[in-house]
Amino acid sequence: MGLVVQTLVRTIREASAAIRDLEAELASQLADHPDAEILRSVPGLGVVSGGRVLGEFGDAPARFADAGRRRCYAGTAPVTRASTCSRLR
pLDDT in tens, 9-46: 999 999 999 999 999 999 998 888 888 888 888 888 88
Q: Residue 59: what are its φ and ψ, rounded to 5°?
A: -120, 25
Indicate whether 52 pLDDT > 90.
Answer: no
Query: DSSP secondary-structure letter at 43?
Result: T
Give which of 21, 55, 50, 20 is closest to 38, Cα–Cα: 50
- The pLDDT of residue 74 is 59
- The pLDDT of residue 54 is 81
pLDDT in tens, 55-83: 777 667 677 777 666 666 656 656 666 66
Give which of 40, 66, 63 is closest to 53, Cα–Cα: 40
Please give the Cα distance from 6 to 72 (Å, whole number).
Answer: 49
pTM of the model: 0.57
